[in-house]
Chains A and B, each alone.
Chain A
Amino acid sequence: MTTITASTTAPPRARKLVGAGRRQWIGLIYVAPAVALVMVFFVIPLGMTAWMSLHNWPLMGEHAFIGLDNYWAILRDTRFWNALKFTGYYTVVVTIAIFAVAFPLAIFIEKPRPLTNLYRTFFFMPAVVGFASASLLWSWLLNVDSGLFSPAAYDLGLIDKKFNLLATFQPAFWSIIAMVVWKVAGFTMIILMTGLQSIPQDLQEAAVIDGAGPFARFRAITLPLMRRTLALALILSVAGSILAFDQFYIILRGGPRNQTLTAVYWIFNQSFVSFKLGYGAALSMVLLVILVALSLIQLWLLRKPEGLD
């Protein structure tokens, strides 16, 4: 009886705490599956990669702790730095190319008019094809003897001699850029389109009444209000390009003469061709740091200016 009295007369503050504590537990239970997934598929593998990077870890045989030796070796690994340089060059070029195609497309399909849905589907379609499948398709299209472009140009009499697009750096590089833009621009277009659609129509109308032309409206209204969307699209594009692998592996094999080796390709090479798993792990950690740093810089540059919104 005493106990019941005590419990019913407990101060309201204590009861509140018990309630909050319970709610916290319920909240934790709700997020537990997501936390477990993140732990199993991200945190633990990341920890293992970091641990592995401190070892001489061959594919077969015993592994041995070597401290930071793998990281010192990276400093002298000119192939990796060259691969990173090429990856940076590719990232800049492909990101500009994707935006140059995706932005006009997004503006074109933003407003509903006849056949808009058809255009949207048409432009977005390549995005649903996997990178590996798309690369295989393009490697066939680009094949000098049995593909489409070179034999068609030859048969139509446009060229005297079949031209192997993948044999020298510039044509090979731009072939890859064309393929990636074909595949990714539709996806970026959809992201940019949602950003465009979220801009309040009355702002644009007010600007028109004030006499602002299309360019002034684009610069003063569209671009500033698109910052968040642009940041998302940019980070996705840059992160995706820095991790580029499939198309370079499947279409070019890093060729011609290793001129298109990307950073991830080199990591793959060290891990699964040379079987130096510890060194591959160290390279992955370095790339991760670079990627996080780049993403932070982009977020900082595109952060929302004070007073807007």
Chain B
Amino acid sequence: MRKLIAKLALATAVLGSGLGAAAADTANIWVRADGSNFMPRIVDAYNKAHTNQIKLDIIPNAEIIPKYGAAAAGGTAPDALSLDLIYTPSFAAAGQLEDITDWAKSLPYFASLSPAHVKTGTYKDHIYGLPFSADASVLIWNKKLFKQAGLDPEKGPANWAEIAADAEKVNALGGNIKGFYFSGNCGGCNIFTFTPLIWASGGDILSEDGSKATLDSPQLRGAIDLYRSMVKKDLVPAGAQTDTGANFFAAFAAGNIGISPSGAFAIGALNTQYPNVDYGVTFLPGKDGGWSSFAGGDNFVVTKGTKKLAVVKEFLDFAYSLEGQTILAKYGSLPVRGDIAKDALRELDPRYQVAAEAMAKGKTPYSVVFNDLINSANGPWTQMINEVFFGDDVDGAIANAQETMQSIIDQAPQK
């Protein structure tokens, strides 16, 4: 009886709201947990303003890839998902994604979308992923500790020598206070915050197309020496050596660290959760100046063969609107549309502007085996950074990583 009443009520509602409602469709999308702050708010705003609806599932970061693979194999994959942008090439190479080249290029603001995202979303000249959320890497410093150490609290370090000198002065305050922090056993954290130091100095760790490992550059060696010297001088807490990323942000947030490379996400997190920490944001500098940034965040990809393409496109179009980009910015991501980024950020902390500028010129290494090379806790990159920052055999570790990386790239199914 209850079912019958429910059915009647539904039929009345559909008839009452006219034919438009009858044609309404629901698409299912997944997002990794990193997007759990902004994604539900964008989906809510979209659902309120549109007849078509989005059903959102939030999946833990570490599980989204295997879960999506299993769902795709079982024919229950969502219509679309927002995933760490670095996975886009390998997903596209697996033939799992819908080719959205024509639609993407027809967007009037296509040229303004984050170039690093579009690059990783492109596979063999076809577009399979478009930017959804963004995070740039920046350098943050504790103004209170700078002041106590006799440094100018309004001026962050602008080259490597200044990083080392400022960290040493802050460290001299003693007690629990340390000059510098980085997660020494986290591949993902260091590709995000360490490689920009190398890029800004003219070096790289992978060739442009991802087919060659280039760890034997003098710029990499120089950046390693900077970190090693700070470790040797005891400017870095002992826990950094084994930190797999759990303390990546928390160490600085505790207020005892002078300088730390971090991400734009830190601005929102510090403002809301640690309002007592007075901090500055600047670019990650090169050896003698200049700057660079990693372009992180998520790409939005569409599952091949979905029947809900129209809804998915409508949703993404909404997310790219000023309203969508403003929600995104307000709840923890940088805007991905360069042309309206300033407007989307207008109401927010001005320090976001530094991150937005970094994002516009951000860079993302391209590889179909990024996870194996970089993110894996047991991969060559993670192993190398831990050895070169804290171990004894720097040259051996670099040579070993270069060889292992190249062999993984060479054995990859498709390049």
Contact = CB atoms under 8 A, between A and B. Distances in A.
A269 B387 contact: no
> Which of A60, A145, A166, A273 has the most B CB atoms < 10 Å from its CB?
A60
Interface in A255-293: 255-258, 261, 265, 269, 272-275
B88 interface: no
Interface in B43-84: 65-66, 68-70, 72-73
> Which of B377, B383, B386 has the most A CB atoms < 10 Å from its CB?
B377
Closest 10 CB pairs of A and B: A59-B69, A61-B94, A60-B94, A145-B239, A253-B377, A144-B239, A166-B242, A167-B241, A60-B96, A144-B238
Number of contact residues on A: which range applies?
20 to 34
A205 to B, nearest CB: 55
Given A167-B390, A261-B378, A273-B371, A253 B65 contact: no
B413 interface: yes
Nearest to B377: A253
Given A61-B95, A275-B69, A255 B242 contact: yes
B185 interface: yes
B378 A253 contact: yes
A58 interface: yes
Contacts of B72: 60
Nearest to B384: A257
B372 interface: yes
Interface string B227-240: 00000000001110
B91 interface: yes
Contacts of A273: 371-372, 375-376, 378-379
Interface string B374-411: 01111100010011001100000000000000000000
Nearest to A56: B413
Contact of A274 (B73, B372, B391): B372
B244 interface: yes
Contacts of B372: 273-274
Contacts of A162: 238
Contacts of B93: 61
B96 A164 contact: no
Contact of A275 (B65, B237, B238, B239): B65
Nearest to A277: B69
B91 A161 contact: no
Given A145-B237, A167-B242, A255 B386 contact: yes
A163 interface: yes
> Which of A59, A269, A275 has the most B CB atoms < 10 Å from its CB?
A59
Nearest to A268: B378
Contacts of A60: 68-69, 72-73, 91, 94-96
29 contacts: A58-B94, A59-B66, A59-B69, A59-B70, A59-B94, A60-B72, A60-B95, A61-B94, A61-B95, A144-B238, A144-B242, A145-B237, A145-B238, A163-B238, A164-B238, A253-B377, A254-B378, A255-B377, A255-B386, A257-B386, A257-B387, A257-B391, A258-B383, A269-B378, A272-B66, A273-B375, A274-B372, A274-B376, A275-B66
Chain B interface, >50% SS class: helix
A253 B247 CA distance: 15
Interface in A216-247: none
Contacts of A295: none
A166 B241 CA distance: 9
Interface string A148-173: 00100000000001111011000000
Contacts of A164: 238-239, 241-242
Nearest to A172: B242
Nearest to B386: A257
Contacts of B413: 58
Given A145-B238, A146-B239, A167-B241, 17 more contacts: A59-B65, A59-B94, A60-B94, A61-B96, A144-B238, A161-B238, A163-B238, A164-B239, A164-B242, A253-B185, A253-B377, A254-B378, A255-B185, A257-B383, A258-B378, A269-B378, A273-B378
A58 B95 CA distance: 11
Contacts of A204: none
B400 to A, nearest CB: 10
A253 B244 contact: yes
A143 interface: yes
A60 B238 CA distance: 40
A253 B62 CA distance: 14
> Which of B93, B242, B383 has the most A CB atoms < 10 Å from its CB?
B242
Contacts of B241: 164, 167
A258 B378 CA distance: 6
Nearest to A252: B242
A221 B375 CA distance: 56
B94 A143 contact: no
